[in-house]
Amino acid sequence: MPVRGLSLLNRFFTLTMFFSIALCPSSAQSGGDAHAWSNSSLSPDERASMVVKEMTLDEKISLLHGTGMAGLSAMSPLAIHSNGGAGFVVGVPRLGIPPIQMSDAAYGVRGSGENGRYSTALPADVAAAASWDLDAAREYGALIGRELRAQGYNMSLGGGTNLTREPRNGRTFEYLGEDPVLAGKLVASVMKGLQAEHVIGDIKHYALNDQESGRNAVNVNIDKRAARESDLLAFEIGLQDSDIAAVMCSYNRVNGDYACENKYLLTDVLKKDWNFKGFVLSDWGGTHSAEKASAAGLDHEEPGWIFFGDQLKSAVESGKVPIAEVDDHVHRILRSMFATGVIDDPPQKGVVDVVGGFEVAQKIEEQSAVLLKNDHAQLPLDASAIHSIAVIGPHADVGMISGGGSAQVDPSGGNAIMPPGKGRTHWQEKIWFPTSPLKAIRAKAPTATVKFDSGSDPAAAAALAKSSDVALIFAYQWESEGMDLDSLSLPEHQDDLIAKVAAANPHTIVVIESGSPVTMPWVDQVSGILEAWYAGSRGAEAVANILFGDVNPSAKLPNTFPKSEADLPHPTIVKPPKATMDADHQGWRRIAGGLPAFQVTYNEGVKVGYKWYDAENKPVLFPFGYGLSYTTYSYSSLKVTPGKSPSVSFTVTNTGNRAGAEIAEVYASLPPTASEPPKRLVGWSKVKLSAGESQEVTVDVDPKYLSIFNVEQNAWQLIPGDYGFMVGGSSQKLPLKETVNLK
């Protein structure tokens, strides 16, 4: 179905608004004080209701869609006022309502080059999840919020919350792990930090958008209980802990209906059960109808107006869509604008604090890189005792890789592996940030001979390693939106490279740059492994600080690392027929009417990640919640106090010889009648301890985290019986256990 043009009336209205904005660009601010809804002492709902009463139908419709995006949909003349971001929504100048300027901002502001601005690339979202640090997550969001405002944006399109059901998903790096409590609590903290900067935040992709293969055609089949206890629980926690302003619905179908016209997801669960007050916007091109989507609870179409422009207006005028339904959509958008402060405190372009951004990015990466192996205390390296170091790996002399797609942040100075001035980012291209491991390691070991080899010739790399005291291999696995990984193996024969280098030098340490778990056939041959993720603008400096002991690693895995794809719930990704895949690659151009569905069934249900491996008794490479430190910890004195919110108390002691931070994890097992996996995460505490120090820790457990979802009652239910509480340093190392009876 072709994109529809504007009606004659809409053309006149569009041009009128165009000239009003062009001639009076500051009218939204200058005229704001004259309006009753400018009174900030009123609630966001009161203010939004007052504005809606004054709006014409055309003004209402104009807030319910974007103005188009080059190459994706028809472009309104008003799009010239866009800031160059992913979306632009015209405001209502006569009523003091400014435009909405949207930017992709998963781990930094994307497309900053479009308006001549700089952006900090933070470590990828999955890295932030590995910190298990709510304060760091809030700082993560706050930095993005500040940089959005400095670039003239007032809405972020970050907030990835989908659980890692399928670790080969090309967007795993944008998400926050496999556990709903961890992901929900962390995304809430990120969004609280972001929205405190007076920027509209959103969480996405709602819901069950777990693979990129055929994402516009796949129909996900899952029972309601499993959905509510897994993927939807992450969104529920994220929403209720953050007062988020927007939710982006996903491309896929869920149990037969597209997510962006799925009444169960958008109205029954999101707006009724969770009492969500904000607005729902479609993923770009994820709208498939006007009447059905509007009735289901979609409030806003992006990037253009195929359905929520002329079609929706005609449906209102003919009585097919009640005006009250449109008013609710508009009210939700305006309420979000008032609630987040984008009307009272509009963004002003300014200079980004580059140094401050670097410091935040480095600090978060230092808390996010996970030490997976450290045989014979190989790490930290002693610079004074090392005479020669081999640095091996693709482009480890100049940069570290990042994730691709709409999350991609333009690196300052361009792609590190391209000639100067030719490093502009593209949709699906490997981008290396100019943070050089080779330079960072040389700075840490100034008296050592540090030589580089790309690894393109494994024999030459092995020869260099053999002549060196230590070999540091920087390996990578690149992923991006719009594709899934073929496997969890390292590409480009890197497994063979690592095996040959490790055979030549037993003091081989592997630093992995990835957004997903990777398999490691060489795991027993190397002495050390550090998972650095996509490490951001200052990744090399952070990694060097960990390798040489200036930072004691504290991060733990937010995703299980399996031994092989054969152990996954779905050993192979279900892909659509070739004709459907080819059409799917056309993206927004063939969005109207949708694509023939192909089916993916989540037979594993609630058993996501570690819950699957526990229930199926499958050994893993590295378990969820696992991570080493340069010190050691012990646990003692467990006490569980039953009650409405059970309290779990215990003591953590730093038994090593240096300060560190231990992520103490609390799990629970439910009574057998609940028919649940063996255990689930119900809380944690990140405890900072000096050498020899002990601290009593108390974790209060939300009763929802101990409950099952009763579909018949449409409510969370605590099953009476015996609950086991387990405490320790990973999902598979839980030395403290106690059973209590909960009524």
* Lowest mean pLDDT across 101-115, 284-298, 342-356: 101-115
**Are residues 660 and 534 part of one domain?**
no
Q: What is the pLDDT of residue 18?
A: 40
Residue 10, both tokens: 């809409």
Strand, coil or helix: 87: strand
Q: What is the pLDDT of residue 115?
A: 60
**Are residues 543 and 417 part of one domain?**
yes
**Are residues 535 and 443 part of one domain?**
yes
Q: What is the pLDDT of residue 286?
A: 95
Angstrom distance (rounded) from CA 221 to CA 216: 15
Phi, psi (degrees; rounded to nearest 5) at 399 = -165, 180
In order of 119, 177, 452, 738, the CA distances from 107 in angstroms are: 10, 15, 30, 40
**Are residues 418 and 526 part of one domain?**
yes
Q: How confident is the model at residue 421 (pLDDT cuts 50, 70, 90)?
A: low
Q: Helices 231-240 and 180-195: crossing angle, nearest 10°? A: 30
Q: Would the pLDDT of 463 be above 90? A: yes
Q: Would the pLDDT of 75 be above 90? A: no
- Does residue 453 form part of some domain? yes
Q: What is the pLDDT of residue 677?
A: 98
**Are residues 481 and 377 part of one domain?**
yes
Helices (H), 390-518: 437-444, 458-466, 494-504
**Are residues 513 and 368 part of one domain?**
yes
Residues 666 and 648 sit within 8 Å (Cβ to Cβ)? yes
Count of domains observed in the chain: 2
Angle at 15 between CA 11 and CA 19, to 5 degrees: 175
Q: Would the pLDDT of 8 be above 80? A: no
Q: What is the CATH number of the domain that holds 711?
A: 2.60.40.10
Q: What is the pLDDT of residue 395?
A: 97
Burial of 19 (0-12, 13-18, 19+ CB in 10 A): exposed
Looking at 526, 560, 594, which one is the last position of a domain? Answer: 560
Domain holding 649, by residue range, is: 631-742
Give the count of beta carbons closer than 10 Å to the beta carbon of residue 410.
22
Per the prediction, the chain carries an average pLDDT of: 92
Angstrom distance (rounded) from CA 303 to CA 522: 46
User: Residues 716-740: pLDDT tens digits?
Assistant: 999 999 999 999 999 999 999 999 9
Q: What is the pLDDT of residue 414?
A: 80
Looking at 536, 560, 584, which one is the last position of a domain? Answer: 560
Q: What is the pLDDT of residue 42?
A: 97
Q: Would the pLDDT of 668 be above 80? A: yes
User: Residues 438-456: pLDDT tens digits?
Assistant: 999 999 999 999 999 999 9
User: Residues 379-394: pLDDT tens digits?
Assistant: 999 999 999 999 999 9
Q: What is the pLDDT of residue 65?
A: 98
Give the count of beta carbons closer than 10 Å to the beta carbon of residue 538.
27
Angstrom distance (rounded) from CA 623 to CA 411: 33
**Are residues 650 and 548 part of one domain?**
no
Q: Would the pLDDT of 31 be above 70? A: no
Strand, coil or helix: 237: helix
Looking at 512, 537, 560, which one is the last position of a domain? Answer: 560
Angstrom distance (rounded) from CA 596 to CA 515: 30
Q: Would the pLDDT of 14 be above 50? A: no
* Lowest mean pLDDT across 111-120, 182-191, 244-253, 598-607: 111-120
User: Residues 570-591: pLDDT tens digits?
Assistant: 999 998 887 776 666 555 444 5
- Does residue 571 form part of some domain? no
- Does residue 435 form part of some domain? yes
Residue 233, both tokens: 């629980």
What's at 712, amino acid-wise? E
**Are residues 517 and 372 part of one domain?**
yes
Q: Would the pLDDT of 701 be above 80? A: yes
Q: Would the pLDDT of 650 be above 90? A: yes
Q: Could you give the percent of the chain with pLDDT greater than 70?
A: 92
- Does residue 522 form part of some domain? yes
**Are residues 400 and 515 part of one domain?**
yes
Q: Would the pLDDT of 85 be above 80? A: yes
Q: What is the pLDDT of residue 2?
A: 33
Half-sphere exposure of 171 (CA within 13 A, CB side): 25
Angstrom distance (rounded) from CA 405 to CA 110: 10
Which strands form 155-156's sheet, in the order they lie side by side? 87-89, 100-103, 155-156
**Are residues 643 and 508 part of one domain?**
no
What's at 668, amino acid-wise? A
User: Which has the closest alpha carbon to 51: 335, 346, 323?
Assistant: 335
- Does residue 197 form part of some domain? no
Q: What is the pLDDT of residue 387?
A: 98
Residue 574 parent element (H or E)? none
- Does residue 232 form part of some domain? no
Residues in the chain: 743
Strand, coil or helix: 250: coil
**Are residues 545 and 397 part of one domain?**
yes
pTM of the model: 0.94
- Does residue 202 form part of some domain? no
Q: Could you give the percent of the chain with pLDDT greater than 90?
A: 85
**Are residues 508 and 377 part of one domain?**
yes
Q: What is the pLDDT of residue 73?
A: 76
- What is the pLDDT averaged over residues 550-561? 98
- Does residue 622 form part of some domain? no
Q: What is the CATH number of the domain that holds 494?
A: 3.40.50.1700
Burial of 430 (0-12, 13-18, 19+ CB in 10 A): middle
